[in-house]
A and B are shown apart, each in its own frame.
Chain A
Amino acid sequence: MRRLFALATVVALSACGAPATDDGTTLVVKTFSQFGYEDLYREYEASHPGVKIKEENIGKLGDYTPKLQQWMQTGKGAGDVVALEEGILVQFMAKPDQFVDLREHGAASLEPNFLPWKWKQAVSGDGKIVGLGTDVGAQGMCYRKDLFAAAGLPADRSDVGALWPTWDAYIEVGKSFKGAKFFDSAGGVFQNVLMQQGDHTYYDTSNKLVIDSNPGVREAWDTTIRMVEAGLSANVDQWSPQWNAGFKNGAFATIPCPSWMLGTIEKQAGPELKGKWDVTRVPGDGAVRGGSFLAVPKQSQHQKEAAELAKFLTSARGQTAAFKSRNNFPSSPQAIDDPVVREFTNPYFGDAPVGKIFGESVKALKPVYLGPDNIAINDRVVNALTAVEQKKLTADEAWSKAVADAQRLVK
């Protein structure tokens, strides 16, 4: 009972009153998922007396997005530095006025610190710098070494990578593969293929919807459909329990994996599969999926200090530290070439040189322009693919539906 009372007191105390503000500045950093900045905050506080940093994190991106919108709509609550996932960033790029133009805080000279396409994503049409890149979702292909060996295929990562210079080759390997489905779900693979199809996807660079006229989108769609029709997909929704279980029970033999997914695989597949999962290059010329930016909202009371902090966190050194902490793959070429990153190996994946594999994937990539409703449209295309996997629509019906949905959305 006394325990309970003590707990109630703690609750009452914590409920009553924001942290006391002394004469120093408290900068609030809003993040989702894991950015791995804890050590960097401490370091920054030490070198900037009077500055305190408080991170307010929301685990799920899906929970973070409505909150972000609510902060922006009401002009309150966004804190001083706010993390923007790339799909959300593009929503803001057409109307970047809610964020501080970081040119005012000397960010223009930082361009060489970022991969060119990453840099451009956060620069508005009239040259405003809206955000600074953090990580990129560098892609590799994770695969089950033991299942490959059992299927009579080479299992060594460089031999496996050589099996699929292209997605067509990947499909051929999949067709002859026995013992498990070849990959987890069409949606994830589609995204990978799509991001390798030239410099734009659903929108052209003047924000016109070109989903039905851009041959790249159709190409990625057709490629994915061929995989579905060849029966390669296990049709398990990403992040669902059966997807989690699939890593362990061998429901699928390969999965395109961004760098941050390695931790997931390790945890889910468990220690008994150590060394059975491995990682190699992805078919085609590199790929990314996701990645984020830091921006300073206009509503911040400490714009100057916040901009300095954002610059520090996205510097090559900051990105390297975040990579070490959470495997968020850097968007800074200097960080990518940093020996800490380049020589990083992952013991769970048979000491795979993941720093090198992902680095090559990222550097090979050409910039892709996304456009305002990119995420919403992609959601609809992925849903259409799922309907094909569920055999609820033919490929043609699904394609027409995806295009019609996208057009209705943009109208």
Chain B
Amino acid sequence: MMVRLTLAVAIALSAFPLYWLFVVATRANDVVGDWPPPLLPGPNLWDNVGRLFDAEQANFLLGMGNSALSSAVVTVSVVFFSSLAGFAFAKLRFRGRNALLLVILGTMMIPVQMGIIPLYLIMVELGWQNRLEAIIVPSLVSAFGVFLMRQYAEKAVPDELIEAARVDGCSTFRIYWTVVLPALRPGAAVLGLFTFMGTWNEFLWPLAVLEADNPTVQFSLSQLSTTYYTDYTLMFAGALVSTVPLLVVFVLFGRQIIGGIMEGAIKA
């Protein structure tokens, strides 16, 4: 009983801000600053969303599309490369392994905000200003991902399985593909979710390298907040709509992620 109660409270706390976001996005501007705040939805959702998509200068739909595309590509790439490298670091012996792992760990400690100007220099050289490549390519690998996959592979992939496959004459990549990757699925699903969210929420770098005519979703929202800063419910609608794709990804794949975790348990 205590368990259920604790979980219920945790879920209520988790969900409340999202619920409240939805409530305000369905209201008209006159609720701003009211006390007590509105707690039930109103009738204005479609009106607010309509104004959102009509908003000049924000290019909201394009921003959503750009973010969806780049987040998807980055996610697939990060999961693939991270599980590959994580497997190597966890299960394969090779000279320089620990040193290389330390380097990867070290790269996580670089403060991201400072890289903007040198990264922009590179993009100028490559001619990628205002193009999605600038968002996608530097993010194709992730130190966090390698580290996460390594930690996970250590526990989740039994050495005997790898040995058995080797005895059967599998190449190392074959072993990765047929033995390791399936065992890594829960971890990979978690990493995929985090990577997608991370790319979707990225703000500073897209702002630096893109222009408002080819934005990402957070960039669009920022544009919205200046031109329409006084339009409170419009901002709420924007924040809500920008969360919907994440929720969709979550509902579609969340079951798989959680299912994957369960499956990993059975195998281990």
Residues of A within 8 A of B (CB): 7-8, 10-12, 14-16, 18, 33-34, 56-60, 63, 66-67, 69-70, 73-74, 76-77, 239, 241-242, 244-245, 248-249, 264, 267-268, 270
Contact = CB atoms under 8 A, between A and B. Distances in A.
B239 interface: no
A35 to B, nearest CB: 12
B46 interface: no
Contacts of B77: none
Interface in B80-135: 116-117, 120-121, 124, 129-133
A66 B227 contact: no
Interface of B: 29-30, 32-33, 57, 61-62, 65-66, 68-69, 116-117, 120-121, 124, 129-133, 207-208, 211-214, 222-227, 229-232
B209 to A, nearest CB: 9
B232 A244 contact: yes
29 contacts: A7-B61, A8-B65, A8-B68, A8-B69, A11-B66, A11-B69, A12-B69, A14-B62, A14-B66, A34-B227, A57-B57, A57-B212, A59-B224, A59-B227, A67-B208, A69-B117, A70-B117, A73-B117, A74-B117, A76-B124, A76-B129, A77-B129, A244-B229, A244-B232, A248-B30, A248-B32, A264-B230, A267-B230, A268-B230
B32 A59 contact: no
B32 A56 contact: no
A15 B66 contact: yes
Contacts of A69: 117
Contacts of A8: 65, 68-69
A59 B225 contact: yes
B65 A60 contact: no
A63 B222 contact: yes
A244 B234 CA distance: 14
B61 A74 contact: no
Contacts of A73: 117
A264 B229 CA distance: 9
B33 A59 contact: no
Contacts of B116: 66, 70
A77 B229 contact: no
Contacts of B230: 244, 264, 267-268
Given A10-B65, A56-B212, A245 B32 contact: yes
Given A67-B208, A245-B33, A270-B30, 4 more contacts: A14-B66, A66-B207, A76-B124, A244-B230
Contacts of A67: 207-208
Contacts of A249: 33
A73 B68 CA distance: 31
A70 B57 CA distance: 22
A186 B58 CA distance: 32
A1 B210 CA distance: 28
Contacts of B124: 74, 76-77
B69 to A, nearest CB: 5
B158 to A, nearest CB: 40
A7 B65 contact: yes
Contacts of A241: 32-33, 232
B57 to A, nearest CB: 6
B68 to A, nearest CB: 8
A15 B222 contact: no
Contacts of A57: 57, 212
Nearest to A32: B226
A322 to B, nearest CB: 16
A59 B207 contact: no
A67 B210 CA distance: 10
A14 B130 CA distance: 10
Contacts of A16: 131
Nearest to B67: A11
Contact of B229 (A14, A239, A242, A270): A239
Contacts of A244: 32, 229-230, 232
B62 A10 contact: yes
Nearest to B211: A56
Contact of A70 (B208, B225, B226): B208
A94 B130 CA distance: 31
Nearest to B227: A59
B13 to A, nearest CB: 22
A318 B65 CA distance: 36
Nearest to B121: A74
Contacts of A12: 69
